A and B are shown apart, each in its own frame.
Chain A
Amino acid sequence: MKTRRDFIKISAAGSAGIALAGGGYFSVVKGSSAAEKTKKLYDYGSSLKRTPTYCEICFWNCAGWAYTTEDGKIVKIIGNENDPHCNGRLCTRGTGGVGMWSDSDRLKTPLIRVSDGEKQTYREASWDEALTLVATKMKEIAGKYGPESVALFNHGSAGHHFGHLLKAFGSSNITAPSYAQCRGPREVGFAATFGVGLGSPEPTDIRDTRCLVLIGSHLGENMHNSQVQEMSDAIDKGATIITVDPRFSVAASKSKFWLPIKPATDIALLLAWINVIINENLYDKSYVEKYTYGFDELKNHVAAFTPEWAYGITTIKPDIIRKTAREMADAAPSVIVHPGRHVTWYGDDTQRTRAIAIINALLGAYGRRGGFYFKDSMSVPEFPSPEYPKPTWNWRDTLKGKYPLAGLAIANGLVEASIPEEGKEHLIKAWIVAGTNLPLTMPHKDTLMKAIQSLDFMVVVDTMPMEITGYADVILPECTYLERYDDLRLSPNREPYIALRMPATQPYAETKPAWWMAKQIGEKLGLSSFFAFKDIEEVLDWQLKQVGSSLEEMQRVGVKKFDRQAGPLYLADGEDYEFHTNTGKIELYATEMAANGFDPMPVYTAHPEPPDGFYRLIYGRAPMHTFSRTSNNPNLHDLQKENHVWINPKVADLWGLKTEQKVWLQNQDGVVSKFPIKVRVTERIRWDSVYMVHGFGHSDPKLSRAFGRGASDSDLITNVMVDPIMGGTGMRGNFVTFLTEEPGKEAAL
C-alpha cells in the first residue's frame, strides 16, 4: 500500500537532486511560458492513440483501451465503458498493466541452456534455432514414449495456443494450477449440487443482493473487478454483509457481522447454519419442494449440528450463529453465500463448498435475483482445423482411480506423473510451461523439484524471468498482452460479450506472441494443417464474421454485446426447470458423491491445530498484486514492495516482536523462508494464526525489484491435505514459528 511513510522517505532522498535539476531549469523555461511548461508535463493532449485490449494481469480479463504516444510508448490503460467485467474502471493491477510492458527486466530473446561440463548457463538463440530445438525434442520424446508424455502447464491466454499445439501433437495432458490449487473444489461442490460448476466470472448477482456472506473470501483485497464494484453497489443499497474470517479483512470491516472463526472449522459453522435454517423453518419451502432432492436426509443429517455444538468448535457464539442465519433468511432469495475463489484449504474443500451450495439452495438463491443468475456466453466457432488425434492415455489414467470427480486435469497429478517409479505405466517426460510460475504456485516444493529434475526436456514461455524459467532447457520470450493479438475473450456474464485484444505497440526486443510460437513449432512438427492461417488476424476475422461482426468492427469498439441465447436470467415463479444432476433436481443429498463412495452430505472433520509456539499460516491477496507475476512490475511494486507477516499484538508481546522487524519463518517440517519478512503487529489477525500476502519472496536475482523482497508462502507449504474427491491441494495446514536471527545454512535445509 502506498503510504505516506514511503513518500516522505523518498522525497527526502530526492531533495539532494534539486540543486542539480535547478541548474538546468531556467534555461529550459526561457523558450516557453511557465504555463505551457506546466501543461506539457501532465497533459498528452489528443496526440494519444487508443487501441482495444483486455487485461492479462488476472483472469478477470477486463476490457480496456491502451493509450499510446506517437512513438509507441504506452502511457495509460483505461477500462472500456461497455465491458461488464469492469464498466470502464480497471482495478489497481489493470491500471498498472503499463508496468508489465515497461518492466526493464523482461525476457528479450530466446535462450537455450548450455553446459561446459561444470557450469550451466543460457545462451541467446535465434527464434528458428530455439523453436527447431523444441520441435526436435518433442519428436524425439514422442518417438520414445509417445506424444502423451509431453504435458502443458498453463495459465492465461498463452495456454490456448499451446493447448491447440499439444492436442494436434497427440497429448491432452494439459493442466492449469488454477484448478487443483485454487478454484477446483468449488466447481465440483457446486456441480454435485446444481449440476454445473461456477466458471469465471462467478454468476453471483451481488449487484442486487440483500445479503452477501463471505467465507474467508476477501473481496476488495482480491480485486475481482466487477464483484468488488457490485459489492460496493450492494453496500450503497444497504445490503448486509456477513464475513467469516480469522482475519479482520477489508470486507469484514464493511460487514454488519464479522465472525472471527477459529481457522479450519468452517464446515461446523455451515452445518449449524443449515441446522438453524431447517429447524427454524427459515428455508424456502416451495423452492425446496419443487427443485431439490434429499431434504429429509439432510434434515436428519444436521439434526445434531446445533449452534451449541458448533460453538465449541468454531468459537462463534450460538446466538450469533442463529442471528446470522435469520439475517440470511430475511434477505432470501436475494442472498449469496459466496463460493469463494481460492478454496484449496484443508483437503475437505469440496465438502465445504457443498455445504455452501446447500445453504444457497435452501434459501432459494440459485437462479434468483440477488442470488445466482443463469450466465450466458458467446459461442464462436473454432477456425477450421483437422480432428485432433486420439491420445492413448491421459492425465486421468495416471491417477489410477483416485480423485474421481476431478473435472479438469490436476497439476499436482501431472507433477507426480513426471517422477519415474518402478512399474509406472504412464510417465510424463517433457513440460511446456506457459505463463505460470510453478515454484511459487505449487505446494510441496520437493516433489516439484524431483519432477523437474526427472524431465528430459522443459520449455518455458513467459514475459519475465521467473523461478520456473531458471529450470528450463529453452526459454521462449513472450511479448506482453499489450503487444499482441490473442484469442477473443468469450467469458460468461449476464449477457454474452466478445472482447478483442490487439497490439498497442510493437513487441519489445525479440519477443513474440504465443500463437506465433505455437504455429511455428506446429509447422516444424509437420502439423501445418492445424495452423492453416497466415496469422491470427485471419483467424479472428473469420471467427468474428461467423457471428456477424468483423475484426475491423472489433478494432473500433473493443467490446461487443450480443443477445442472450440461454433463456431468462432468473427462474420464473413456479417454472419447471431440470438441473443437470442425476436426479434432475438440486441435490441436497449428492448422488454422484454417494456413487463414488464419498459422504453424500458434508461432515465436519477436525483438522490438526498448531503445536505450541507455532501459528497457522494463512495467506491471501493484496489488491495491487496478482500471484507472483506482478511483484516486479515497476508501477505495482511502487505501491507494495514486499509482504509483511501479520501478527496479533498478544503474540508479538510474547515474542518481543515489533512492527517492521525482520524475522524468518520456520514451518512444522523445519523449512525456513529463504528471505526474512517484516512483521506487522496488528489487531486484524487472530492470535492462533499469522497472515501474509502471497506472491513475494522471489529468489531469481534477475527480478531486480522483487528479488529477496518478503517471503514466499509457497516455500512454507510442505504439508498438503489432498481432497480425495477431486485432488485439490489443501494448503492451510501449515504452521510457522519465528526466527529472529538469520538461521545458519544447515538449519535452512
Chain B
Amino acid sequence: MRYAMAIDTRKCVGCSDCVIACQTENNVPLGYCRDWITETVDGSYPNVEIELRSERCNHCDNSPCVRCCPTGASHIVEGGVVLVEHGLCIGCGACIQSCPYDARYSHPEGWVDKCTFCNHRVTKGEKPACVSVCPTKCMYFGDLDDPDSEISNALKNRKHKVLAPEAGTKPHIFYLI
C-alpha cells in the first residue's frame, strides 16, 4: 500500500476550499494551515499562463523530516503516510528546517503540525477532507500499489510532475499538467 495524491492543474481554480476544509476537519488554528494555494504567472500580457497548485506535505519516501527528528515524533505509518506524534514532539523545529516544501509549522500549543493525508478518515475508508470537498474534483487520492486505483489511472493517463525533484525526497504529491 502506498498512498499518494494527484492534483490536476488544468482543473484547479485556486479557490482554497481545500485549505478551509482541512482547517475545519483537523481543527487547525486560525492563522495556520496544513495546505495552501500557490499561483505562478508566466509570460507577459496578453501571452500569459498561470498555474494554480494546492500544496501540502509530500509524504516523501525519503523524508528528511523523519530522519532528522530527535525524538521519533515524526514517523511513517502504513501507506507511506508521514505523521507527527504530538506527544513525542518537543517542538525543536528541525523538521521544519529540513522540509524542502515548507510543509510544517509550529502549532501554538508547542508541537509541529502538518498534513496527515487525513489518516483518521482514510483508515475509515474515506477520502482526505481536501479531496472530498474540492468543487472542481481536481484532486485524486489513493493507493499507488493498486494499478486500478483512481490515482494510478490519473498518473497513467496524464503528463505529471512533482515539486522540488532535485531534493531527492521521492515526494508523493503529483501535479497533472
Contact = CB atoms under 8 A, between A and B. Distances in A.
A284 B43 CA distance: 39
A7 B105 contact: yes
Interface stretch (A119-127, A246-254, A286-294, A373-381): A246-254
Interface stretch (A142-150, A329-337, A603-611, A683-691): A683-691
Among all A-B residue pairs, the 8 with the closest Cβ atoms: A34-B87, A220-B13, A21-B110, A623-B15, A232-B136, A76-B24, A42-B26, A260-B46
Interface in B1-44: 10-11, 13-17, 19-21, 23-27, 30-33, 36-39, 41, 43-44
A236 B158 CA distance: 12
A561 interface: no
B44 A683 contact: yes
B20 A636 contact: yes
Contacts of B23: 635, 638
Contacts of B32: 7, 10-11, 14
15 contacts: A3-B38, A4-B36, A10-B105, A11-B96, A11-B105, A14-B31, A14-B32, A18-B110, A22-B91, A90-B135, A228-B136, A623-B17, A636-B20, A638-B31, A686-B45
A229 B24 contact: no
A300 interface: no
A228 B108 contact: no
A635 B137 CA distance: 22
Given A220-B14, A639-B20, A648-B45, 10 more contacts: A2-B19, A2-B37, A42-B27, A76-B24, A90-B17, A91-B135, A232-B13, A254-B10, A623-B17, A635-B24
Given A92-B16, A228-B13, A33 B87 contact: yes
A623 B16 contact: yes
B11 A232 contact: yes
A21 B39 CA distance: 34
A229 B17 CA distance: 13
A640 B137 CA distance: 22
Contact of A17 (B83, B96, B108): B108
Nearest to B116: A42
**Chain B residues touching A, range:** 35 or more
B27 A41 contact: yes
B52 A624 contact: no
Interface of B: 10-11, 13-17, 19-21, 23-27, 30-33, 36-39, 41, 43-46, 48-50, 52, 55, 83-88, 90-91, 93, 96, 102, 105-106, 108-111, 116, 120, 132-138
Nearest to B121: A43
Interface residues of A, number: 73
A749 interface: no
Contacts of B116: 42
User: Which of B15, B44, B85 has the most chain A CB within a 10 Å cutoff?
Assistant: B15
Contacts, number: 194
A221 interface: yes
Interface of A: 1-4, 7-8, 10-11, 14-15, 17-18, 21-22, 25, 29, 32-35, 37-39, 41-43, 75-79, 86, 88-92, 95-96, 98, 220-221, 223, 225, 228-229, 231-233, 235-236, 248, 250, 253-254, 258, 260, 623-624, 634-636, 638-640, 648-649, 682-687
Given A98-B24, A635-B24, A15 B48 contact: no
Given A34-B87, A220-B13, A682-B41, A95 B136 contact: no
A683 B86 contact: no
A320 to B, nearest CB: 11
A15 B120 contact: no
B86 A34 contact: yes
User: Which of A92, A221, A231 has the most chain B CB within a 10 Å cutoff?
Assistant: A92
Contacts of A683: 41, 43-45, 48
A482 B145 CA distance: 42
B85 A35 contact: yes
User: Which of B32, B45, B93 has the most chain A CB within a 10 Å cutoff?
Assistant: B45
Contact of A1 (B37, B43, B96, B120): B37
A258 B93 CA distance: 46
A521 to B, nearest CB: 36
